[in-house]
Structure 1
Amino acid sequence: MIGFGPHLMVDGYNGNFEALASVEAVTNFLDTLPAEIGMTKIMPPYVFKYDGGDKPEDWGVSGFVIIAESHISIHTFPEKGYFSIDIFSCKDFDIPAALEIIKSFFGTEDLEVQTTSRGTEFPRDIGMAGAITASQRRRLY
């Protein structure tokens, strides 16, 4: 098999203000999501509140959790009801299930969803990588 894995990108609109504004809620989301989608959390989530800097209305909560399969990150903008979540994994996972968890947790059906495959030429198996390289060399000579 070749390819690193899926990258799910979610933009949420009209999310629940309390969930978006809470460091505790976002921490809980990042702490429980990996197991719910079959991933392996390898560190506690790191979550912090941002004051918005020059644009106070852009305050929110950001965080990430490193998983054995890669990472999950989130950024929230409670005043705007908006959040963005990335789930990047080196193994396939149930994307529809992840989306249902996100909708339920943040209280919105209003999601913009994009997926892509990362590392499409990444050789997962070193033996396969050797075979591909050998095959390419035979064609060159």
Structure 2
Amino acid sequence: MVDYWGYHLILDCSSCDKDKVASKDNIYKFVKTLVKEIDMKAYKEPIIEHFATHNPLAAGYSMVQLIETSSITGHLVDSNGDAYFDIFSCKPFNIEIVKEVVNIFFEPKKIRVTYLTRQA
């Protein structure tokens, strides 16, 4: 196996359960569960804030969880239930576990996966 400096997973999740996408508590539980399930170590608490209220098509929660090996970020859209997540880490992690956790917490109809290995 080739070692890379970093591993970057991008998930574009369409038509999630709108109630789950709009729940700050659900997003918090998702972040905590994901960090544990992919064996990362969180740095402090996640930041979860509702943004873009001036634009109904973009409004929703954004979240950032710093981890010792980089970060987990996301934006969840109120209007259509779409969700966008990025996980970047210099420690490898299991993509299938990430998808399982996303499915449990948000129930997307479809997930588009982009995976990059990073090496300068």
Could you tell me the TM-score, scaled by structure 2's length? 0.91
Structure 1 distance, partners of 2:41, 2:109, is: 27
**Partner residue, 1:13:** 14
Q: Find the residue that maps to 1:57 and give its secondary structure.
A: coil
Where structure 1 has 5 or more consecutive residues not aligned to the other structure, the ranges are: 122-141
Structure 1 distance, partners of 2:50, 2:60, is: 6
**Partner residue, 1:99:** 99
Matched, 1:32 2:33: yes
Give per-residue Cα distances to partners, 1:79-115, cap 9 Å, x unaligned.
1120100010111111111111111211124001100
Give per-residue Cα distances to partners, 1:53-82, cap 9 Å, x unaligned.
2x2232100011000111000101021120
- Structure (1/2) with the larger helix percentage: 1
Pick 1 or 2: higher relative contact order, CA cutoff 8 A, min separation 6.
Answer: 2
Matched, 1:110 2:105: no
Q: What is the RMSD computed on CA atoms of the aligned residues?
A: 1.5
**Partner residue, 1:80:** 80
Where structure 2 has 5 or more consecutive residues not aligned to the other structure, the ranges are: none
Q: Report how far residue 45 of structure 1 moved.
A: 0.4
Structure 1 distance, partners of 2:81, 2:11, is: 14
Could you tell me the TM-score, scaled by structure 1's length? 0.78
Task: Tell me the matched-pair count.
Answer: 119
**Partner residue, 1:59:** 59
- Structure (1/2) with the larger strand percentage: 2
Runs of 4+ in 1 over 6 A off after TM superposition: none
